[in-house]
Structure formats: C-alpha cells, structure tokens
Structure 1
Amino acid sequence: MALEHRLTKLSLHQRGKDMVTGPNRPNDPTGKPYELAYKAQDIPAIPDPSVFNFQDNPNGSSTRSPSTPDLALPNLAECATHLEFLETLFVLRQKILVSKDLDEVMQTEPRREEKTGIQGDTKTFKDENLWGRRQIKWPLYVEFATIRFLAWRECFNKSNIMKITQDNLPPLDILMVWHSFLLNPRLFYNTCSDEPLFSVRFPWNHIHEAINSDEWSFTLGPRAAAHYKNNYGFAPDLYDDMASWKTLTHATRREIPRLGIKLSLYPSKIYESPCREYASLFETFRTTLAGQLRDAVIRQASFVDKMNSYMWIRSPALEGTIRRGISRYLNFCKLIKMSKITVVPTLDIDLVWHTHQCTAKYYGQAMKVLAGKFVNHDDTIEKPQLGDGFAETRALYRVHFGQEYRACGCWDCQALLTELERVLEKGESPDIDVIAMKVKEDVFYHRAVEWSRRHKTTLPMRRIAVP
C-alpha cells in the first residue's frame, strides 16, 4: 500500500478519528458543508441494505452433492450482521456502565465529598472513584445473563424446537452468552455434542431483523418476547428488568451485588420478586460451566472494542473488507493445515473465523476439510505469547500466497484497496488520481454521516453522486 509508511498512516488515522469525534460536522473534500437530508428519500442507508442478502452462499450448497461436506462458510450478510451484533454489545456495555438506575441497584452511586473552606463556603467534589466502582456492573450483568442462558439452554434441549425463528429468538443477553460459548468450540463440543442445541446455527438473519442500526439497540418482536416470558418466566430485556429493581427495598438492593455464580458464604436474604427467582436460578446453575461462560463473555469485550474502533459496519469499504476477509480466512486455514506453528489471525480473518464458529457442529466438520483437523479457538492466550507467532504467520503467508498478511483496517486503506480491485476487475487501466479522489469523497462522506449519527442530528446527503 502507498500508505504503508508508519508516520503517514498515523497522521491519516488521527485525521480520520478527529473528523468523527470532533466538535464540528465534517465538510466535503473541497471544504464545503454537505447539504442535509431532510426528506426521507435523501437519508443515506449505511450500511447498504443489499449487504444483508442471507441467500448468498459461498459454499455453493444449492449445487452441492450429498457426498460433499457442508463447509458452512460464512457469507457477506452473516459477517456484516456479526459486526452489527458486536456493536450492539458494545453499546449495551457502555449503557450499563453509565446507568444511574443500575448505580442504585448495584450500590455504585456517587460518593461526593463536601468540604468547607476557611471562609465558610461549602464545595461538593466529584467522586473520582465512581468509574472504578462502576466496573462491577458489567461482570454482574454477565453473570445474570449466563444463568439465563443456561436455563434457556436446558429448556430448549427438552423442547421439540429444532431451529431458531423470528418468533422464538432469545433475548440479547442470552444470545451474547451463546455467542461466546460458540467461540470456544472445544468447550462447546465437549459440553453440547449430544444436545439438540449442537446442531443449531446462530440465527444471524433474525438477529439482523432485531437490531436498530441507527442506535445499535436490540428489540425482540412481540411474539418472541411473549414466547420467552411465557416459557421462562423472566422479563425478555435483562437490562430493563435490572434497572427497574431500583424500586425494591434497600435491604433487597443491598443483597443484589452478592448474587452471582461464585458460592457465597452467606445465604441469600432476598425475598422480593424477581430477584428471589434469580437467586434460585443461581442456586440451580452455579456450575463450573457457568464460570467458564462468564469468563468467555468478559474476554470477548476486547474483540468487541477493536471492532468498535474500526467501525467496519459503517465503512464505505464494508463489502470489500469482508469479502477479502473470507478469502484470507480460507488461506489461513490452509496455513494451519501445512504449518506446525501456531498460526495467528489478523482482525479481519478473526471476524470471519468467529462467524464460522457460530455454525455450531458444522464448524468442526468444515475444519477437518479446510485445515485437516478440528481447530479450537483459544482466546485465553495472552497477547505477548502471540507476538512471534504473528511474525512467523506473516512470513509464511508471503511465501505461500505471495501477498502481504498484515492489513491496515482503516476506512481509507480499505476503501482504496476496494476501489482499485473494482477498476482492475473491469479490465480498466487504473488512474491513481481518479481513484484517490473517489475514495476521498467516499470516506469523507461516510465520516460526516457517522459524525451526524453520533451527535443525533440530521444526516448529510451527497452533493454530487459518485459513480
């Protein structure tokens, strides 16, 4: 890439960040303000709805013979929905951490100190430790989500339901734990291989339908919400349910942070619903598996943060980034098959790999074909241990595929690569100046849209359509 020089990339990345997070709406590349989309037909659709075509199957399974294994390779729509799902989890975590309602419920309210000056004036000081105390809220939410998942899993396995539909889609917190379970394929196989759940693919299409990509919120349809409430007895939205507990007595709220997967030395003193029922649920599902799933969800926060940082789901190069990621993932599997070292994925490959793992039992079958063996995904390995592995993987990738392994994930680099590929596929001679101008217009506009969304203001429209 022309942008490979470290200082050039740092400058470019900082400029891009400043455009999205700065106080002023970004202008177009000529410095002029964008016209605003006041009419419904002018409002931009980012990401493009055409990305979410769940019938696009890279497997070619419609023509696959019965003797050919189903590789269950993820397609563009599934990977894009995965990005939507991760961004929704990011927003949920931030919402929980700053929630004043949950501060009351979990006893993390601000502790402001008042001091009187020598002249008798009184000042109230900010609680400098508030953010640190608030950190307990996410792990506690995850523990409640974990036991809700385990209860859901038990009932699902006992039911006659063979697949997830729009009418029985589980709540977001349960999907979150199920997702992290699938991303630990060895644990999932050892635990669930004899269960009906083992054959159920993660329901990306229904998840996409439940996500509002303007606000990154998740809403179950009325039938799915009623199905969960009627069959499991708990509120479909765990966050709303927990936030409502601020109306419970102080004696009950004081006990809530003591609930959890870890066995307490003191018996629960909660007598109010629904906390009493949750206390009973913890007693039932307080297992080693519960602790493993809780830890898996918490570990996933790191990858969620990285995907939020790159914000590929709002990138002008979304389709190109994912399609290249799928192709690179297949090469990655070939490296696993031919190499004895620990092959370390890049972020785009990791996204596709994670999406592939969400096919449940089909992932294990596919990896035996693609990589020659069952491949576990060990997210407990510390980053320093992966350092040499990445360098070796990069070198092997260059040797076997003649391509650079390390890929810059910023919008500029990805959009430039996508446009260059488009021109070459059409058999045209690339004009770098024309390509650079088109990419600049694309990236500037998408950043202006993202800025407007974050500031909850009217979205811009394109001044001149880009062919």
Structure 2
Amino acid sequence: MVSLNLFRRRQVKSSVLDVPLEKYDKETGLPATIKIGDEDYKPFVSLQETRDHLTFLSALSALRHSLPSSDTDDTPFKELCQQSAMAYAYWVQHVLKERGAGKALSSGELPCLEVLMAWHSHLLNPTIYQEDIGGEYSTLQGMNFPLSTIATAIREKTLPPFQPTTPEHVQSPKQTKWSAEDVGMAIGRQAKFIGHMKRIGWLDEKYWENGVRELQFSIVLYHAWLDLMQSTECKYFLVPRLDIDLAWHTHQLHHGRYKADTTRLLGKLLNHNDAAGDEKLGNGMEVTRKLWKKRFGWEYQ
C-alpha cells in the first residue's frame, strides 16, 4: 500500500499522513475528510485547482523567459513588474469600477496575463490584500480570482494582449497598504517561487502524464501543516516545504474562502510573508522540522 512513506517515522498518534493512497476518495483523489485538531474538514484545495495554478505559473515563467535578460541584468523583468502593477491598478480603478464589484469574471472579461500576474502576487499577501480591498481596491471585494477560467484561457491562448498604462492614468492610492510599486516588488519576489517550480519540473504538463501523486501529497501535507499551526497556536514561524507552499498559495488565491477557513482554524486570517529573509526562513525551517517530527513522527525534509 502506498502512503506518505517519504519519511522515516516513529510511532505516534496516527494522522492524515498515515492514510494510504488506496483509501483516498476516488472522485477527488484526496482523503474525503482531513482531521485538523479535533475536527474533520473537507480538503480546502482540490487537485484541479492545483493543476490550474501550475498552468498559470507556467505561463508566468514563459512570460519572464521571453524577455531579454542576462545573469547580471534583469532590468527588463523588473520594468515589466512595475508596468504590470500599474496596469493592474488601472484595471481595478477604471475597468472594474465601470462593470461593478462582486460579479464573477467571464472568460471574455479576463484581463491580460500581466494584470493577472499582479493580482496573483497581491493575493499572496492576504493581510495586505484584505486591507487594500477596503480601500482603493474595493472593486475586488467578493470577486474570486477565476483560476479555472484563467487556466482554460491560457491553454486556448485567448487572453488579451498587454496594454501598458502610464503613471498619470493611475490614481495615487490613499486608502491602501500597498502602492502599485509595492505590488510590482511582490511580483518580483514571486518569480523566485516560480523558478523553483520550474526547476523541479512541475510546470511541464508532461511531468504529470504518469500520475499526480506528488500533488495529492502536497495537498495532504498542507493540511497537516495547518494542523501543526493550530496545535502550536501560531506561536512559531513555520516554514512550508516547496510542495506545501504550492498548495498554500493555491488556497490563498480564493481569498474569501481562505479567510473563512483560516479564521475558523486559527482565529485569524493566516498571513503569508513573502518578504521573509533567508535567516528567518532558515531558523523557521529548523523549528518546523522539530515540531513536525514531534507531532507526526515523520521527518520533515
């Protein structure tokens, strides 16, 4: 029987990590419910959502690599990050304002990939995003990032072309935590994660032709990570593995759902600090390894 035997274990109280793959729900490819603390939850993230997210990240990777750059000069990409952030601000302030807030975007209403890239990076800073949609980005309130529709448009090559805007067309945000420049910097930070996904081959559709076991485990591991977060009362800076991070990011793209889920679990909206430095990440990873082994009996590698 295949289970999460990716780790050497000792005997502790059983958890979702001990559920064999053969026991997963045949329709969803995941456990029907996952225990976090004392409660059972349906998985917060689906396999299809994770696959769609990888399709989106693959498009972002291709966009970056289409730009002229070198090992010493990444100026074209940095400029694109800022241009994309300004176009995103314009889209929110003008295009969405005219159509009205809260309504789901149809495939014909999707903005260009560059604007979606900025929206994606904004969402991956959930406490900032929550504050900003109460201000100048209020037209995003109640609007989901349409991941499935975006992935379909990418596969069918139907996203509209990029139309750069200029600073004078974007209002200076008065009631936001982040400016367009801050969003642009966040895009740059997310490029590192996308690079990691490319390095391990997960952005290549052919990688998944022989099955999606690693994605199944990434989602299960993410729920175990949330269980660890709850059991330690969010006292520690817990660092996710790369596969857990993918599932976590996918959850965050559904902001309303993510806010409700993490508030129910943890008593607050769980933030994602994508600006944490190497020292903080390294120390956090060491703490996470120790706590994970203590709670689950598995090595955290």
* Matched residue, 1:338: 231
| Structure 2 unmatched ranges of 5 or more | 8-26, 34-40
Provide closer, same or farther for how the CA distance between residues 59 and 401 of structure 1 changes in structure 2, counting only shifts above 3 A.
closer
* Matched residue, 2:50: 79
Matched, 1:357 2:252: yes
* Matched residue, 1:237: 161
* Matched residue, 1:319: 212
Q: Distance in 1 between matches of 2:249 and 2:255?
A: 11
Q: Letter of the aligned partner of 1:149 in structure 2?
A: Y
Equivalent of residue 306 in structure 1, options 196, 203, 216: 196
Q: Distance in 2 between matches of 1:399 and 1:172?
A: 43
Q: Distance in 1 between matches of 2:240 and 2:179?
A: 27
Map 1:209-358 to 2 at 5 A: 209-212=152-155, 219-220=157-158, 236-238=160-162, 278=166, 280-281=168-169, 284-285=171-172, 289-313=179-203, 314-316=206-208, 319-339=212-232, 340-358=235-253
Matched, 1:189 2:122: no
Q: Could you tell me how far 1:371 is from its partner in structure 2?
A: 3.1
* Matched residue, 2:61: 90
Q: Letter of the aligned partner of 1:280 in structure 2?
A: E
Provide closer, same or farther for how the CA distance between residues 358 and 203 of structure 1 changes in structure 2, counting only shifts above 3 A.
same
* Matched residue, 1:136: 75
Superimposed CA distance per residue, residues 301-347 of structure 1 (whole angstroms, 9 cap, x where no aligned partner): 11010000011243246521111111111111111112222111000
* Matched residue, 2:89: 150
Q: Letter of the aligned partner of 2:187 in structure 1?
A: V
2:30 and 2:220 in contact (8 A); partners too: no
* Matched residue, 2:21: none
Q: Letter of the aligned partner of 2:82 in structure 1?
A: E
Q: Could you tell me how far 1:373 is from its partner in structure 2?
A: 2.6
Q: Distance in 1 between matches of 2:184 and 2:64?
A: 14
Provide closer, same or farther for how the CA distance between residues 204 and 315 of structure 1 changes in structure 2, counting only shifts above 3 A.
same
Map 1:99-178 to 2 at 5 A: 132-133=72-73, 135-155=74-94, 156-160=96-100, 162-178=103-119
Superimposed CA distance per residue, residues 420-464 of structure 1 (whole angstroms, 9 cap, x where no aligned partner): xxxxxxxxxxxxxxxxxxxxxxxxxxxxxxxxxxxxxxxxxxxxx
Provide closer, same or farther for how the CA distance between residues 186 and 153 of structure 1 changes in structure 2, counting only shifts above 3 A.
same
Q: In percent, how many aligned pairs have the same letter?
A: 27
Provide closer, same or farther for how the CA distance between residues 132 and 405 of structure 1 changes in structure 2, counting only shifts above 3 A.
closer
Map 1:35-74 to 2 at 5 A: 73-74=44-45
* Matched residue, 1:23: none
Give the secondary-structure state (helix, strand or coil) at the position aligned to 1:79: helix
CA RMSD of aligned residues (A): 3.1
Q: Letter of the aligned partner of 2:280 in structure 1?
A: Q
Superimposed CA distance per residue, residues 233-285 of structure 1 (whole angstroms, 9 cap, x where no aligned partner): xxx412xx67xxxxxxxxxxxxxxxxxxxxxxxxxxxxxxxxxx635325x34
Provide closer, same or farther for how the CA distance between residues 361 and 145 of structure 1 changes in structure 2, counting only shifts above 3 A.
same
Equivalent of residue 205 in structure 1, options 134, 143, 148: 148
2:289 and 2:299 in contact (8 A); partners too: yes
Superimposed CA distance per residue, residues 368-395 of structure 1 (whole angstroms, 9 cap, x where no aligned partner): 2233432110011112212122122112
When normalised by structure 1's length, the TM-score is 0.51
Q: Distance in 2 between matches of 1:289 and 1:203?
A: 23
Q: Distance in 2 between matches of 1:394 and 1:56?
A: 29
Provide closer, same or farther for how the CA distance between residues 3 and 148 of structure 1 changes in structure 2, counting only shifts above 3 A.
closer
Greater C-alpha radius of gyration: 1
Q: Distance in 2 between matches of 1:73 and 1:159?
A: 30
Q: Letter of the aligned partner of 2:166 in structure 1?
A: Y
Q: Could you tell me how far 1:72 is from its partner in structure 2?
A: 8.0
Q: Distance in 2 between matches of 1:348 and 1:131?
A: 27
When normalised by structure 2's length, the TM-score is 0.77
| Structure 1 unmatched ranges of 5 or more | 5-54, 62-69, 99-129, 213-217, 222-235, 243-276, 407-467
Q: Could you tell me how far 1:404 is from its partner in structure 2?
A: 2.6
* Matched residue, 2:263: 368
Q: Distance in 2 between matches of 1:353 and 1:208?
A: 18
Q: Could you tell me how far 1:88 is from its partner in structure 2?
A: 1.2
1:71 and 1:362 in contact (8 A); partners too: no
1:82 and 1:204 in contact (8 A); partners too: yes
2:82 and 2:185 in contact (8 A); partners too: no
Q: Could you tell me how far 1:93 is from its partner in structure 2?
A: 0.6
Q: Could you tell me how far 1:193 is from its partner in structure 2?
A: 3.9
How many residues were matched structurally?
A: 261
Q: Distance in 2 between matches of 1:181 and 1:379?
A: 11
Q: Could you tell me how far 1:186 is from its partner in structure 2?
A: 0.8
